[in-house]
């Protein structure tokens, strides 16, 4: 179970810039929600507030009806996949995936089981001993997703995860992430500036512009919007 609610969420950066204005989003358990809009409209800021990587200026963020505004990121039961993959270059694929569990003091056998399971799900079992620089872009992206999967989080956050991939791979990875959503039964929030990506992947689409939510709806409803 994981519902996520943003209630009147605002973000004003230290320099006074009002990046997110009164955002209200209700995300149901297991829903795949896409935040879409042009560069600079506040998508990443919104996602980072959900992750706890950015302070919330005002409003209430709740996960499963518990207010988490002041809960540190590591206690939020959330895992995030970044645009630039954010892999540790000196660590192997295995160690990249294991790292988040090690620092959370999971025991060795559990870490091994979770890494093996994620590698199997993502079809990267043959790459476990490689370093990131020995991987293709698509393979790196899989490792980044694997690092989130091993945590077994209730909520997955994706920040433009496919934007560094070529067009063909991007289409393939869209389908893979959609099938992962079905398989893991998790709630997912996905940020993209690509409208086609939003329409093909989202159960619910949140359209942002200049820090404001303009529309929320399912792909069909939005498609028919005048
Ligand atoms: P998007 O993800 O939609 O491209 P962002 O959430 O990254 O947009 O940024 C929204 C706006 O907030 C942009 O105008 C950006 O320049 C601004 N912004 C982002 N980070 C900061 C910061 N640390 N300080 C001030 N302004 C910021
Ligand atoms: P099945 O119905 O085939 O058992 P599950 O929904 O249990 O499917 O999940 C498929 C695989 O994904 C299983 O190996 C399960 O352990 C794993 N899995 C389930 N939920 C998560 C999660 N939140 N994070 C990572 N792996 C998960």
pTM check: above 0.90:
no
How large is the average pLDDT for residues 161-165?
Answer: 89
Relative to the alpha carbon of 206, which ligand is closest?
Answer: 1
What ipTM was reported for this prediction? 0.75
Pair of tokens at residue 78 = 């959330």
Query: CA geometry: angle at 219 spanning 170 and 168, to 5°?
Result: 10
Question: Ligand 1 in contact with 20 (CB < 6 A)?
Answer: no
Give pLDDT tens digits for 184-198.
Answer: 889 999 999 999 999
Q: Could you give the C-alpha distances from 123 to 82, 115, 148, in angstroms and in order?
A: 20, 12, 15
Is the CB of residue 156 less than 8 Å from the CB of residue 2? no
Helix, strand or coil, per DSSP, at residue 64: coil
Pair of tokens at residue 111 = 């870490």
- Cβ neighbours of residue 201 closer than 8 Å, sequence gap 6 or more: 32, 34, 174, 177, 178, 190
Task: State in Å: Cα 19 to ligand 1 middle.
Answer: 6
Give pLDDT tens digits for 91-138.
Answer: 999 999 999 999 999 999 999 999 999 999 999 999 999 999 999 999
Token pair 């990121």 in the structure block, residue: 73
Relative to the alpha carbon of 113, which ligand is closest?
Answer: 2
Pair of tokens at residue 79 = 């895992």
For β-strands 32-36 and 18-27, DSSP reports them as unpaired
- Given a cut of 60, whether residue 226 has pLDDT beyond it is no
pLDDT for the residue numbered 21: 98
Helix, strand or coil, per DSSP, at residue 205: strand
pLDDT for the residue numbered 81: 94
- Given a cut of 90, whether residue 23 has pLDDT beyond it is yes
* Cα 26 from Cα 184, distance rounded (Å): 21
Give pLDDT tens digits for 213-223.
Answer: 999 999 988 87
Choice from 181, 184, 188 to test ligand 2 binding pocket (greatest atom count within 8 A of CB): 184
Which residue would you say has higher pLDDT here, 83 or 191? 191
């Amino acid at each position: 179970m994981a519902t996520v609610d943003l209630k009147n969420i605002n973000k004003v950066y230290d320099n006074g810039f009002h990046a997110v204005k009164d955002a209200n989003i209700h995300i149901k358990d297991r829903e795949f929600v896409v935040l879409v809009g042009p560069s600079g409209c506040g998508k990443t800021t919104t996602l980072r507030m959900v992750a706890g990587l950015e302070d919330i200026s005002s409003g209430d963020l709740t996960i499963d009806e518990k207010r988490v505004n002041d809960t540190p990121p590591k206690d939020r039961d959330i895992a995030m996949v970044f645009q630039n993959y954010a892999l540790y270059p000196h660590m192997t694929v295995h160690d990249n995936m294991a790292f988040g569990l090690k620092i959370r003091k999971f025991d060795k056998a559990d870490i091994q089981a979770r890494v093996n399971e994620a590698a199997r799900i993502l079809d990267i079992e043959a790459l476990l001993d490689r370093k990131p620089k020995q991987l293709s872009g698509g393979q790196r992206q899989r490792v980044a997703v694997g690092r989130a999967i091993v945590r077994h989080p209730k909520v997955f956050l994706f920040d433009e995860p496919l934007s560094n991939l070529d067009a063909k791979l991007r289409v393939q990875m869209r389908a893979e992430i959609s099938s992962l959503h079905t398989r893991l039964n998790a709630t997912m929030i996905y940020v993209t500036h690509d409208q086609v990506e939003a329409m093909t992947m989202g159960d619910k689409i949140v359209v942002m512009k200049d820090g404001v939510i303009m529309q929320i709806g399912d792909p069909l409803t939005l498609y028919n919007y005048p």
